[in-house]
Amino acid sequence: MLRRRLAQALIGLALAASSAACSGDDRPVDQAWLEPALLAVDDLGPAFEVAPDDAEDTDGAGPDFGCLFDLGPFGAGDDSGDDGPEIEFRATEEPQMPSVVESLTDTGDGERAAHVFDKVIELTEDCARVDTTDGDGMRWQFDVANDDETWAPGADQQLTISATGTATAKGIELPISFAVTMVRRDDVVLMAMFFDMSKDVSTAHRQVVTAACERLNALIEGDPLPDRRPVLADYPVGATLRELLGGQAPDPAQAA
């Protein structure tokens, strides 16, 4: 499905900031220490579940979002098997959106990660519009905004890419929005993505990024991990689909 393919592309984007950290004769970094910092269902709310691995997406097919993830040599990811922990969540009800993805990577070298992070920011800053049609006839049209403001707790560097627009097929137009934030804290790179059939996901995405960074900061500093709290408990899951089907959007307090 699209969310799995998009998640894979965005995890590759996060790994771009660590692509130089395990090259040459460098010893690979043990990534297992980061696992306790990962988000869980209890951090989002009862309307979410961990998404299972999707075997049907192994062919890597899917829409081409053009300049959105056109990172040249930095966009290929890392096939070394030393990637950090990652997790994907989805809504429990159809169409199982929104989707939330998080990945963590210990680069082993904060200085080199900062250098590559700067390059990724430079490569993505000129992408402002995507208009492309995939092999299934689905047309994807997005306005793209990039922001390197470090608003996430503990961020040394940060890049947020937001895309808002539509997906159109057979005369049916659906609103689509997603946001991905990469955060570098010392030599660790965190990536969090929020994707939904919605006109705006900025507030919910910011809540997810903040919760993820709070857990990572506590782990790095050796502090107790924060209590898990459902930051998306009031998110109107399925509201847009219900509206498109002619029903009323659910009350946000009841949508979870």
Query: What residues are paired with 101 via a beta bridge?
Result: 88, 193
Cα–Cα distance, 82 to 32 (Å, whole number)? 10
Of the candidate ranges 114-123, 228-237, 247-256, the one whose mean pLDDT is the lowest = 247-256
**pLDDT per position as a tens digit, 29-82:** 789 999 999 999 999 999 999 998 764 454 545 566 778 877 655 554 444 445
pLDDT number for residue 73? 53
Cα–Cα distance, 178 to 201 (Å, whole number)? 6
Over 50: is that where the pLDDT of 22 sits?
no
pLDDT number for residue 153? 97
| Residue 6 CB neighbour total at 10 angstroms | 22
Percent helix, strand and coil across the chain, each rounded to 5?
Answer: 30, 25, 45
Phi-psi map region of 60: left, alpha, beta (phi>0 left; psi -120 to 50 alpha): left
Please enumerate in sequence order all residues whose Cβ is within 8 A of that of 206, keeping only pairs 6 or more positions apart, or say none: 151
**pLDDT per position as a tens digit, 139-190:** 999 999 999 999 999 999 999 999 999 999 888 899 999 999 999 999 999 9
Tokens standing for residue 251: 């009350």
Q: How confident is the model at residue 256 (pLDDT cuts 50, 70, 90)?
A: very low
- What are phi and psi for residue 42, nearest 5 degrees? -65, -15
Mean residue pLDDT across the chain: 82
